């Protein structure tokens, strides 16, 4: 079947067999090996990617089901050679040992932070329930997600990227009601 999928900002048109899992399409056809296969049973979450902005397990759906949709993988997070704040936080907090669960953990952490901008310990653990770390390095993973939350707070970025309210106010149209 012919499919057209946008992956990490690039639209791909491909002929695929219906039974090809999305994760295998990403890895074997597009070479996006950043997304890994951990368990093959839908438990571990290592293959987590975003489909239209929401986290999903890419071993739990077929590539044909992604036809016409937008997929973001771990490889699509960095911008201009700069890591995503969640990637940065994982690195700085030593939130990985073997690193195999990391792509899925980071993709799920980003999804979690979209819903919960300042999650407590329990919320992070609940939010990462679908991701297993076989090194059991959960303590630092939870720390990293909370650190990332702080990095992603409004006003936490570099000065040059900040817009002051005054600047915005100055752009508002003058006069009228």
Closer of 77 and 112 to another protein (Cβ): 112
CA-based nearest residue to 78, from 90, 93, 70, 88: 88
Q: Residues 35, 55, 87, 93: which binds another protein (CB under 8 A)?
A: 55
- Does position 8 interact with another protein (CB under 8 A)? The reply is no
120 binds another protein (CB under 8 A): no
Cβ at position 171, least distance to another protein in Å: 34
Q: Smallest gap, in angstroms, from Cβ of residue 3 to another protein?
A: 10
Question: 11: part of which helix (H) or strand (E)?
Answer: strand 10-15
Determine contact, residues 76/84, Cβ cutoff 8 Å.
no
Distances (CA, A) of 150 to 101, 108, 116, 117, 161: 23, 17, 12, 9, 16
* Closest distance of CB 97 from another protein, Å: 19
Stretch that binds another protein, among 76-84, 91-99, 123-131, 147-155 (CB under 8 A): 123-131
DSSP 29: I
**Angle ∠(133,134,137) on CA atoms, nearest 5:** 55
Residues that bind another protein (CB under 8 A): 1, 17-21, 24, 40-43, 45, 48, 51, 54-57, 59-62, 64-65, 108, 111-112, 127, 129-131
């Amino acid at each position: 079947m012919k499919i057209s999928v946008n992956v990490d900002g690039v639209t791909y048109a491909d002929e695929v067999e219906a039974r090809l899992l999305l994760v295998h399409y990403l890895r074997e056809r597009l070479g996006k090996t950043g997304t890994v296969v951990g368990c093959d049973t839908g438990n571990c979450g290592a293959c987590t990617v975003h489909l239209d902005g929401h986290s999903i397990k890419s071993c739990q759906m077929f590539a044909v089901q992604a036809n016409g949709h937008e997929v973001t993988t771990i490889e699509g997070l960095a911008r201009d050679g700069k890591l995503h704040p969640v990637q940065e936080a994982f690195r700085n907090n030593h939130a990985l040992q073997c690193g195999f669960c990391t792509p899925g953990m980071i993709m799920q952490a980003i999804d979690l932070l979209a819903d919960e901008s300042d999650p407590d310990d329990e919320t992070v653990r609940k939010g990462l329930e679908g991701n297993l770390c076989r090194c059991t390095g959960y303590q630092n993973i939870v720390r990293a997600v909370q650190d990332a939350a702080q990095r992603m707070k409004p006003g936490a970025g570099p000065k040059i990227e900040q817009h002051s309210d005054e600047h915005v106010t100055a752009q508002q149209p003058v006069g009228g009601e």
